[in-house]
Amino acid sequence: MTTMTTRDTTFLSIEDASAAIEAGTLSPVDLTQAVLDRIEATGAQLNSYVLVMKDTALREAEASAERARTKSRLGPLDGIPMGIKDLYDTKDAITTGGTGAYRFRVPSEDCTAVARLRAAGAVIIGKTNTHELAFGGTTNNVHYGPTRNPWHLDRVPGGSSGGSGSALAAGQALGALGTDTGGSIRYPASYCGVSGIKPTYGLSSRAGVTALSHTLDHTGPMARTAYDCALMLNALQGYDPLDIDSARHAPQDFVAGIGDGVAGMTLAVIPSLFPHATPAIKAAFAASIAVLEGLGARIVNVEPLAGVDDWRALVMGIIAVEANDYHEELLKHDPPTIGAAVRTRMAAGAAMPAWKYARALDARKMLERRMEDTLTDLGVDAYVLPSTPVTAWEIDEDPDRDSTPSRMFQYGSIFNVSRQPSISIPNGFDEDGLPTALMISSAQWTDGLSMRIAHAYQQATDWHTKRPPLFS
């Protein structure tokens, strides 16, 4: 058997690692051990994981190796090491939700998403750090410490799925789970130079996942490439009676047709969404548009949000009300176990009048219709935008002082409101060597289309292959 170095294996895509396992040139045990070694070597620097499940991961890898030996692999995820955001319940392994109240909470069952990954043969490496209760954008966790960005150790990885983004960028996992309520899969993917998709609302189960906002929460995959995200989403999709918002929708093969390109497509830019982007973000986006045009896409400008007052406040209001409701008992009986910054945000939800919340829900539906109708009425295939207006900023020494720029949520959260699939992929670097990213969002239940456009872009560029200087 030809062996690969740790550096080679930990930065493989899921697609390439799976092909090597299938060909017998890579053992799932060796791959898992290489990832564990990378975590051990870099864990103190990055704090991507709050729990490493070494023993069970190696047992799962051994079982996968036996399946590979007997030509009975469960699919392309069989033997692939995955990081799980610490909001997802994992059987017999602590799931804290990033808060002090659940420091010793050990679920008796896997949540649906983790169960589906295990059924596909994935190796669960451990639990990745999250912003407390997913309510923030830094992953500077007051209870479990700050996660650091592998591209620049004094910068945030974004949030709330920052542990997953950091782990992927550092070779500490080949795939990961994140959650996205206002951009929390796509922002860490952007800041850490990896890929991540928020699927259509109701496509991937939220059962057994610590909630923030049942109206806006999405679960989904993060990985190195759009193709890898498609492989993961194939396993994660499907109706789940345990999730009240899970949709009965026919399963799709998100890999089928992913290589068909963008020639003849019409892609829409929403200029009003990014007037305050940094020059580096604007330059990377302009270059990305040129690539897509070179691949045969037509670019148009649209304004589906014209005349709408501050919809971003609407998003934050819905999140605050629903987060306060979900964690009401904890806030009443043990408030000190939740950090002051998150507690303050939830208190704002308790103060919102019922009529204002009801109007916010109605406004969300109106915006959803606008975003969907614009695509249909104008014959547009997808929206294209920068993923974020800024690159990763410095970690604040005080985790209870939120350093998140207010404009950070200006781009991604509209697609939580619209419930449309939305993927972030790397598209360049700023003057400090920090990643920038491109966001692609299509109509509901066309997740494969978003990933197809992203894959076409990645086939024409190499930003997704870049590694932080720490690992070069």
* Residues marked as catalytic: 85, 160, 184
Burial 222-257 (b: 16+ CB within 10 A, else e): bbbbbbbbbbbbbbbbbebeebeebeeeeebebbee
> Cis before residue 160, ω within 30 degrees of 0?
yes
Residue 292 and residue 425: Cα distance in Å, rounded?
Answer: 14
Residue 300 and residue 303: Cα distance in Å, rounded?
Answer: 10
User: Which three-class secondary structure string do you get for 240-272?
Assistant: CCCCCCCCCCCCCCCCCCCCCCCCCCEEEECHH
**Tokens encoding 217:** 């929460």
Tell me which amino acid residue 123 is: V
Residue 252 and residue 258: Cα distance in Å, rounded?
Answer: 12
Coil, helix or strand for 99?
coil
Report which of 423, 401, 421, 5 is spatially closest to residue 247, judged by C-alpha positions: 421
Report which of 368, 109, 92 is spatially closest to residue 215, judged by C-alpha positions: 368
Half-sphere exposure of 433 (CA within 13 A, CB side): 11
- State the CB neighbour count (10 A cutoff) for residue 431: 9
Q: Which residues pair with 128 in a beta bridge?
A: 49, 85
Coil, helix or strand for 441?
strand
Report which of 194, 173, 196 is spatially closest to residue 183, judged by C-alpha positions: 196
Residue 223 and residue 13: Cα distance in Å, rounded?
Answer: 8
Helices (H), 379-441: 414-418
